[in-house]
Amino acid sequence: MKLILPTSIEIWVKKKKKIWLWLNWYRNAFYIQANNVKKIYKEIINKQIPKDTELPSLVSLTFTYFNGTKRIADLDNWCSVACKFTQDALTELWYIKWDDYNYVKEVHFIYGGYSKNNWRIEVEIEDYELLSYTKWKEAQDVLYK
């Protein structure tokens, strides 16, 4: 399953304010503002997942960051906040039981490239057990050819 998430969210604080969702903002954000942004993020995720969807009990998450400018960006700064908010949303919406290492087995951050004026983070949610078996099977095929 693929989700497309924004790298910024607009909220109202006396006037419309654009908040870039990266680690520097999250580290310095007032807790009420961070919580309000997290709620909006959860709504964005909830709208993209069909209601009858059942995610596997063990998941692998891949976050692909697409930069809207040609400036060099730090993947951790952008993807870490998306990772935290995504896992929290999936837990609160009961798509996964918990967001600890017993249920979220892998998390990957990948740079997707330059996408002019289309900043986004794409999240791929995959079945960890199936993915692990596929990797194991491919390794076996290579070893025993």
In degrees, rounded to 5, the angle at the alpha carbon of residue 120 between the alpha carbons of residues 123 and 66 is 90
CB 121 within 8 Å of CB 66: yes
What does the pLDDT read at residue 27?
93
What is the pTM assigned to this prediction? 0.86
What does the pLDDT read at residue 136?
67
What does the pLDDT read at residue 142?
76
> Which residue ranges form the domains of the chain, and what is each CATH number?
2-143 (3.30.1330)
What does the pLDDT read at residue 17?
86
Mean pLDDT by 10 residues, the chain (145 residues): 92 84 92 92 94 88 94 92 96 92 94 92 91 73 74
CA pair distance 61, 80, nearest whole angstrom: 12
Q: 108 vs 14, 51, 56, 61, 104, CA distance in Å?
A: 37, 26, 18, 6, 11
